Amino acid sequence: MKNDSVPSSPGGGLSRRNLIFGAAAIVGGGWLVTGLTGCAPVGAVTAAPGATQLSFWHLLSGGDGIKMAGLVGASNAANPSFFAKQTILTWGTPYYTKLAMASAGGRAPDVAILHASRLPGYAPGGLLDEWDLGRLAEHGVREENFPAAIWNSGFSEGRLYSIALDAHPFILMYNTDIARDAGVLDADGRLQAMTTPEQFLDVARKMQAVTGRRGLSYGYLGDGAQMWRLFYTFYRQLGATMTLEPGMPAQVDEDAATTALEFMQQLLDGTIATAAGDYATAVAEFVNGESGMFFTGVWELPTMQAAGLPFDAMAIPAIFGSPATYADSHAFVLPRQSNLDPVAREAVYAFVAGILKDSFAWAEAGHIPAYLPVVESPAYAQLLPQANYADAVDQLNYDPPAWFSGSGSDFQTYFAENLQSVLLDKTDAREGIQAFVRRLNVLLSKPNPVG
């Protein structure tokens, strides 16, 4: 007999109908668009007779997608007892909609990728199964194999629901030729230390004098994620925290937020950085040597390497005192199964463990592997510029947890709606953050729709 209820976390149950409508709410607008883009090949490897078939969903495309296809293909080749097939969906809302609806409706894949910052919206509502720590240990995956912040990002209410593959922080790339001509390299050929906002502005202006165009590339127009990443980096460097507790007003340090936003306004003066540029403009500007520095994510490393650019990279300097940077992680999760196949579930543990241990190839795409034996290997120490920003794992800051926050969520859209004018039109920063807080309070007045 078909069971129409889907169990939630211990303590109660949810009907499938409620889960489905709740899932629609946590992924935001446009939830009927699933955005399926295709099934990725896994190389020449084919399933061995009798192999357990695994369905693996993720949202990794471009260079990331190619690297992941290689990892999956290698895992299949090394483990003939199972065969994992990839399904790649469109990044952002389409992906998270499809994943939530599949978990709520009993059609979930065996394993999937979730941004760690999205966990608070998924785990408490019964959309995910937890990982068994003992079974993970049998496959060589233990807490001590991960940086504390990355490992802890996978927990919800004391239970492990996600295992990070990587950390992908916001970083600072710089053109080494321009930096040398500007006289801002140290004795080791690295960008000189910058410990105050004034020092950063000075370095940027010296680089601008060399390029004749810009000192820094930073695109933000129409891109709430880009605005949030840099803002939250500076906000956390100021020692400020942000607490989003359902039913309570948002706890935001308005003074720190105003300071961070006003510094971003200083950067966007039309000389240091383009006053009104989008992300594509920023990428092109840096690639063409029209700026000396670039605020971006580690995922742009292959772009710069393909362009043959003379560049290096580093964690964003702690110009406001406390080392801190915005980051997220691609993490493996177990979407809730209506009819769990224990053989397939056991194969998933082997599959994930194998990819973690083989994630040096993932490092080549720019991401910092979460599995410490890879990062601590001699080979990784020689992998440049990745090794030069590996210390960013010591200062990671994920989104403040809430059912509506995280990568690809409406949270960053709301940030853009209230703060883009602050950056573009140089309107009052404090008024902008107050408007954003008011929007957060509306969301916080509502419970997690699947909680």
Interval 263-280: pLDDT, tens: 999 999 999 999 999 999
Structure confidence at residue 350 (pLDDT) = 97
| 64/84 Cα distance (integer angstroms) | 17
Please write the tens of the pLDDT for every residue from 161-170: 999 999 999 9
Structure confidence at residue 109 (pLDDT) = 97
This prediction has a pTM of: 0.89
Res 255 pLDDT > 70: yes
Same domain, 320 and 333: no
Same domain, 159 and 191: no
Same domain, 423 and 286: yes
Domain count, the chain: 2
Query: Could you tell me the CATH number of the domain that includes residue 184?
Result: 3.40.190.10
Same domain, 196 and 60: no
Q: Is residue 179 a part of any domain in this protein?
A: yes
Report yes or no: 206 and 184 within 8 Å, Cβ to Cβ.
yes
Structure confidence at residue 45 (pLDDT) = 61
Please write the tens of the pLDDT for every residue from 373-430: 999 999 999 999 999 999 999 999 999 999 999 998 889 999 999 999 999 999 999 9
Please write the tens of the pLDDT for every residue from 198-249: 999 999 999 999 999 999 999 999 999 999 999 999 999 999 999 999 999 9
| 371/10 Cα distance (integer angstroms) | 30
Report yes or no: 444 and 405 within 8 Å, Cβ to Cβ.
no
Task: Compute the mean pLDDT over every residue in the chain, rounded to the nearest whole number.
Answer: 90
Phi, then psi, of 335 in degrees rounded to 5: -60, 145
Same domain, 151 and 90: yes
Extract the tokens encoding 139.
Answer: 């496959």
Q: Residue 451 — very low, low, confident or very high, per pLDDT cuts 50/70/90?
A: low
Same domain, 101 and 224: no
Q: Is residue 19 a part of any domain in this protein?
A: yes
**By CB neighbour count within 10 A (0-12 exposed, 13-18 middle, 19+ buried), where does 338 fall?**
middle
Same domain, 278 and 413: yes
Beta-carbon contacts of 212 under 8 Å, excluding residues fewer than 6 positions away, are: none
Same domain, 426 and 288: yes
Structure confidence at residue 449 (pLDDT) = 74
Beta-carbon contacts of 116 under 8 Å, excluding residues fewer than 6 positions away, are: 150, 153, 154, 162, 164, 328, 329, 330, 331, 398
Integer-rounded Cα radius of gyration of the chain: 22
- What average pLDDT does range 117-143 have in this prediction? 94
| 381/167 Cα distance (integer angstroms) | 17
Its domain, for residue 425, covers: 169-326+409-444
